[in-house]
Amino acid sequence: VIEEMSIASGVPIPAIYVLEEEHGINAFAAGHTTADAAITVTRGALERLNRSELQGVIGHEFSHILNGDMRVNIRLMGMLFGLLVIGYIGQFVMRGSARGGGRKGGLLVLAGLAVMILGYVGLFLGRLIQAAVSRQCEVVADASAVQFTRDPQGLRGALVKIGALEEGSRLHTAAAEEVAHMLFASGLDRVFATHPPLVERIRALDPSFNEHEFVEVGARMRAAQPLPANGEVDAEAVGAA
């Protein structure tokens, strides 16, 4: 599938990785340029999606590589981290100055407070910008995936399955918050949505979509391939499938 999308998009074949412990349906692209790009998918994507649906997801990620979205993502992450550090510096100055007392200490406390407010307000506004940029990139990537695959039903099917499953696209890693804007679908609940609503994305592909399909598809998937009670994957069952 990666090789096919490489040909369709004109992008060199990237490195390929799998998040073995993640059973939600998700993927992301990373790297600075097309020469050092990598695409990662979750174990859940490989188990839950058919070939056409996986092709739609991979086509979406190739769009991020082709359009340079990865560089934007990395710059946004660096900007937000820098603003967070400014906030921490303000906190550190405030606490250190408060212990010293005196007029000079009071002035330093005020300076630290100002720096802390600047950092955290900047972080808040930065997250708003990050979310807005990410949502626009996702819209373009969905359109490009259809262009690469010539099959809107594949991407549609992947998005429907995400909405149909209880775990959906959720990631359980502690790093999910940091990379949420890079993912194929939102990997966690966030105040600042990094992706358009799932139903909105599906209806852009199929205006006749009815949300009741989530229930129907979820029931079919649970009946066809139930997961073990402990959440572990039955390797033999996967191999047979």
40 membership: H or E segment, kind and range? strand 38-42
User: 61 catalytic, yes or no?
Assistant: yes
Reduced DSSP (H G I as helix, E B as strand, rest coil) percent helix, strand, coil of the chain, to 5: 65, 5, 25
Contact 43, 233 (CB under 8 A): yes
Site of tokens 């998040």: 19
First-residue to last-residue Cα distance in the chain = 18
* Structural Rg of the chain based on CA atoms: 22
Give all strands of the β-sheet with 15-19 in edge-to-edge order: 15-19, 38-42, 27-30
Write down the catalytic residue from 22, 53, 61, 138. Answer: 61
Positions marked active-site: 61
